[in-house]
């Protein structure tokens, strides 16, 4: 009486096995599709945008020292007048010159070991003049003729001429545009050669801008803003992640 039940049981087991197998194929296919949908490629693009400085800045410091504040102040008045006359010879407009308030520093006596004794022996006054103009050759010529002021007995110190571009913001945008297109072209080339298709951008990351002398390879994690050269490059780096199918 129990013999016929065996084939039914076998049929049931076979059906279950087929169901498990089909489910396994379905799960496997779902996993493959899921993996494909998550495929991405990350490519870095870079670009250099040439730019020229259109503004020059130069700082001149006039220094006087005397035993008393009054004497130091009178000496600074004379020295500053000579400095103003010297700066006027540049031919730059008066608006190109600024003179912030002067600074005062007490001078202390030094012992044989070089340390301060705490005794004030004089006062040092410093007047800074800043020249800023778009006539770069005139500013450079003025800086190069500092010796004429020193010949008048004026104690002076000067910083190197700094070169600034007022079009830096536009140059950064242009460099970013080219760097972005460069990253996309690289990604397209790689994916096409592998037989795939490039999808939409998943994420983008902009690197720190570098403003460096023309053709320089210098980089910094914090970015570079060069003011030593008239001809510069704005370097932009961007990293793009694309979907791939």
pLDDT in tens, 137-158: 999 999 999 999 999 999 999 9
Q: Is the pLDDT of residue 66 over 80?
A: yes
Rounded to an integer, the average pLDDT of 194-211 is 94
Q: Is the pLDDT of residue 8 over 90?
A: no
Euclidean distance between the first and final Cα of the chain, in Å? 60
Residue 46 CA to residue 178 CA, distance in Å, equals 7
**pLDDT tens by residue, 165-182:** 999 999 999 999 999 999
Q: What is the dihedral of CA 19, 22, 28, 34, to 10 degrees?
A: -100
pLDDT at 6: 47
Q: Is the pLDDT of residue 24 over 80?
A: no
The more confidently predicted of residues 73 and 16 is 73
Please provide the average confidence, as pLDDT, over all residues in the chain.
Answer: 87
Give residue 118's pLDDT band: very low, low, confident or very high (50, 70, 90).
Answer: confident
Q: Is the pLDDT of residue 10 over 70?
A: no
Given a contact cutoff of 8 angstroms between Cβ atoms, the answer to whether 125 and 25 are in contact is: no
Rounded to an integer, the average pLDDT of 223-232 is 96
Q: Is the pLDDT of residue 34 over 70?
A: no
pLDDT at 20: 42
| % pLDDT > 90, the chain | 74
CB neighbour class for 134 (10 Å; exposed up to 12, middle 13-18, buried from 19): middle
Q: Where are the domains of the chain?
A: 38-52+167-244, 55-164
CATH 3.30.70.2970 matches 55-164: yes
Whether 55-164 and 38-52+167-244 are alike in CATH topology: the answer is no
pLDDT at 187: 95
The more confidently predicted of residues 128 and 3 is 128
pLDDT at 32: 35
Rounded to an integer, the average pLDDT of 201-220 is 95
CATH classification (class only), 38-52+167-244 = alpha beta
pLDDT at 114: 86
pTM of the model: 0.77
Residue 13 CA to residue 217 CA, distance in Å, equals 71
Q: Is the pLDDT of residue 21 over 70?
A: no
Q: Is the pLDDT of residue 75 over 80?
A: yes
Give residue 38's pLDDT band: very low, low, confident or very high (50, 70, 90).
Answer: low
Residue 69 CA to residue 159 CA, distance in Å, equals 26
Q: Which of 31-35, 63-67, 70-74, 158-162 has the lowest mean pLDDT?
A: 31-35
Left (φ > 0), alpha (ψ -120 to 50) or beta: where does 116 sit?
Answer: beta
pLDDT at 7: 53
pLDDT at 26: 40
């Amino acid at each position: 009486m129990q013999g016929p039940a065996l084939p039914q049981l076998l049929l049931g087991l076979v059906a279950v096995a087929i169901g498990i197998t089909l489910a396994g194929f379905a799960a496997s296919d779902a996993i493959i599709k899921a993996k494909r949908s998550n495929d991405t490629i990350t490519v870095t693009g870079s670009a250099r945008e040439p730019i020229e400085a259109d503004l020059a800045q130069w700082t001149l410091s006039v220094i006087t020292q005397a035993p008393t504040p009054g004497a130091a102040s009178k000496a600074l008045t004379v020295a500053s007048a000579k400095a103003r006359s010297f700066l006027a010879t540049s031919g730059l407009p008066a608006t190109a010159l600024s003179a912030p308030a002067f600074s005062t520093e007490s001078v202390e006596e030094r012992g044989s070991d070089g340390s301060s004794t705490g005794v004030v022996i004089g006062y040092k006054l410093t007047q800074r003049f800043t020249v800023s103009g778009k006539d770069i050759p005139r500013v450079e010529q003025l800086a190069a003729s500092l010796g004429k002021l020193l010949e008048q007995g004026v104690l002076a110190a000067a910083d190197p001429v700094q070169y600034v571009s007022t079009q830096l913001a536009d140059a950064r945008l242009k460099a970013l545009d080219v760097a972005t297109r460069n990253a996309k072209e690289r990604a397209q080339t790689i994916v096409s050669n592998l037989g795939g298709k490039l999808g939409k951008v998943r994420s983008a990351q902009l690197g720190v801008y570098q403003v460096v002398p023309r053709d320089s390879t210098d980089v910094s994690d914090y970015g570079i803003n060069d003011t030593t050269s008239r001809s510069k490059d704005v370097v932009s780096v961007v990293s793009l992640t694309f979907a791939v199918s």
